[in-house]
Structure 1
Amino acid sequence: MSWKNELHKVYYGFLRVSVRFTLKRYYRRMEEAQRQENLPKGYQYPVILAPNHQNAFIDAVNVVCTAHPFQRPSFLTRSDVFKGFAGTVLKSFKMLPIYRARDGVDTVAANKPIFDLCVSRLTANEQVLIFPEGNHGRKPFLRPLKKGVSRIAFQAAEANNFDFPLKIVPVGLNYNDHTKYHQNFLVVYGEPIDLNQFYDNYHENPNRTLGQVKEAVKEGMIKVMIHITKKEYQNEIDSLRYILTHESLEEMGLSDRTLYNQFLAQKAVIKKIEDGLDAQQPAAQQLIDEVEDYNKTLKEAKLRDDVVRKGPNSLFVQILKGLVMAVGAPIFAVGTLINYLPYKLPDVAAKKMFKDDHFHSSVQMLGGMVLFPIWYLLIFLITWLVADWKIGLGLVATAAISGEFAIYYSHVFKRWWGSTRYSLMHLSKKPVAVKLQKMRAGMVRRYREISQLVTA
Structure 2
Amino acid sequence: MSFSYRNIIITGYDKIKNRKPVLFVSNHQNTFMDGLVLVKVAKNINPNILVRADIFKSKWAALALDIIHLIPIYRKKDNMGSVAQNNEIFKKCIDLFRCGKTLLIFPEGNHAIKRFLRPMQKGPARISFQAEEENNFQLGLKVAPFGLHYESHPKRWHDLHVHFGEVFQVNDFKNIYKENPIKAQKQFSDKIKEGISAEMLDIKWHSEYDFMEEVRRLIKPYALDWADNKKSIVHAENEVLNKISNILKEDETKTEALKKETHTYFKVVKKHQLSPDFEAKIYNPFYLILKSLGLLIGFPFWLIAKLLNFIPEYIIEKKVIAGVKDITWHISLRTGISLFLYPIFYFIILLILGFSLGWILAGILVFTFPVISVIMYETEYHLKELKNAFILFRKPQILKQEQELVNEFKTLIVK
TM-score if structure 2 supplies the norm length?
A: 0.92
Alignment-derived partner of residue 419 in structure 1: 389
CA distance in 2, matches of 1:127, 1:334: 42
Quick check: 348-357 or 69-78, which moved more? 348-357
- Is 1:276 the counterpart of 2:251 in the alignment? no
Q: Is the 8 A contact 1:284 1:450 kept in 2?
A: no
Q: Specify the alignment match of 1:326 in structure 2.
A: 296
Q: How does 1:109-258 map to 2 (within 5 A)?
A: 109-252=84-227
Q: Aligned pair 1:261/2:247, yes or no?
A: no
Distance (whole Å) between structure 2 residues aligned to residue 254 and residue 210 of structure 1: 30
1:358-407 deviation per Cα after TM superposition (whole angstroms, max 9, x unaligned): 22211100222222222222222212222333432343244333222111
Q: TM-score, normalised by structure 1?
A: 0.84
TM-superposed CA distance for 1:349, in Å, is 3.8
Structure 1 equivalent of residue 409 of structure 2: 447
* Greater fraction helix: 1
2:2 equivalent to 1:24: yes
1:290 is displaced (CA, Å) by 1.6
Q: Residues 85 and 345 (structure 1 numbering): CA distance in 2 closer, same or farther, change over 3 Å?
A: closer
Q: Residue type matched to 2:111 in 1?
A: H
* 1:340 matches 2:315: no
Q: Which residue of 2 aligns with 1:72?
A: 46
Distance in 1 of aligned mates of 2:17 and 2:277: 39
In structure 1, stretches of 5+ residues that fail to align are 1-22, 427-432
Question: Does the 8 A contact of 1:45 with 1:126 survive in 2?
Answer: yes
- Equivalent AA in structure 2 for residue 373 of structure 1: P
**Could you say what secondary structure the match of 1:164 adopts?**
coil
> Residues of 2 paired with 1:180 and 1:208: CA distance?
42
Matches of 1:103 and 1:305, distance apart in 2: 35
**CA distance 1:445–1:394, change in 2 (3 Å):** same
User: Greater shift after overlay, 183-192 or 328-337?
Assistant: 328-337
Partner of 2:268: 297
How far, CA to CA, are the matches of 1:171 and 1:107 in structure 2?
30
Distance in structure 2 (CA, Å) of the matches to 1:422 and 1:352? 32
Q: Which moved more, 1:346-355 or 1:214-223?
A: 346-355
- Which residue type is aligned with residue 298 of structure 1? V
- SS class of match (1:248): helix
Against the structure 1 CA distance between its residues 331 and 228, is the aligned structure 2 distance closer, same or farther, given a 3 Å change threshold? same
Q: Is the 8 A contact 2:22 2:143 kept in 1?
A: yes
Question: How many Å separate the matches in 2 of 1:162 and 1:78?
Answer: 28
Paired with 2:175 and 2:79, the residues of 1 have a C-alpha distance of: 38
For 1:307 and 1:210, how far apart are their aligned partners in 2?
Answer: 44
Q: What do residues 171-217 of structure 1 show as CA deviations (whole Å, max 9, x unaligned)?
A: 21110111111111111111112221211111111112111111111
Check 1:452–1:331 CA distance in 2 against 1; reply closer, same or farther (3 A cut).
closer
- Cα offset, 1:250, TM superposition: 2.3
Q: What stretches of structure 2 of length at least 5 have no aligned partner?
A: none
Matched, 1:359 2:329: yes
CA contact (8 A) 2:13 2:164 kept: yes
Q: For 1:131 and 1:84, how far apart are their aligned partners in 2?
A: 24
Distance 1:300 1:118, change over 3 A: same
AA partner of residue 35 (structure 1):
Y
What code does the residue aligned with 2:402 have?
A: R
Amino acid at match of 1:402: I
Change beyond 3 A, Cα 1:328–1:445: same
**Partner SS for 2:166:** coil
SS in 2 for 1:310: coil
Give the conservation status (yes or no) of the 8 Å contact 1:132–1:149: yes
* CA distance in structure 1 between the partners assigned to 2:323 and 2:85 by the alignment: 28
Paired residues, number: 414
RMSD value, Cα: 2.4
- Retained in 2: the 8 A contact 1:233–1:288? no
What's the offset of the Cα at 1:324? Answer: 4.2
For the Cα contact (< 8 Å) 1:283–1:449, is it kept in 2? Answer: no
SS of structure 1 residue aligned to 2:177 = helix
Secondary structure of 1:244's aligned partner: helix
Deviation of 1:319 (Å): 5.2
Cα distance in 1 for residues equivalent to 2:234 and 2:272:
28
Tell me the secondary structure at the aligned position of residue 309 of structure 1.
coil
Assess if the C-alpha contact under 8 Å between 1:312 and 1:422 holds in 2: no
CA distance in 1, matches of 2:180, 2:278: 57
Q: Which moved more, 1:283-292 or 1:159-168?
A: 283-292
2:27 equivalent in structure 1 = 52
Q: Is the Cα contact below 8 Å between 1:342 and 1:371 reproduced in 2?
A: yes
Would the alpha carbon gap of residues 326 and 90 (structure 1) be closer, same or farther in structure 2, given more than 3 Å must change? closer
How far 1:62 moved relative to its partner?
A: 0.7
Percent identical pairs in the alignment equals: 29
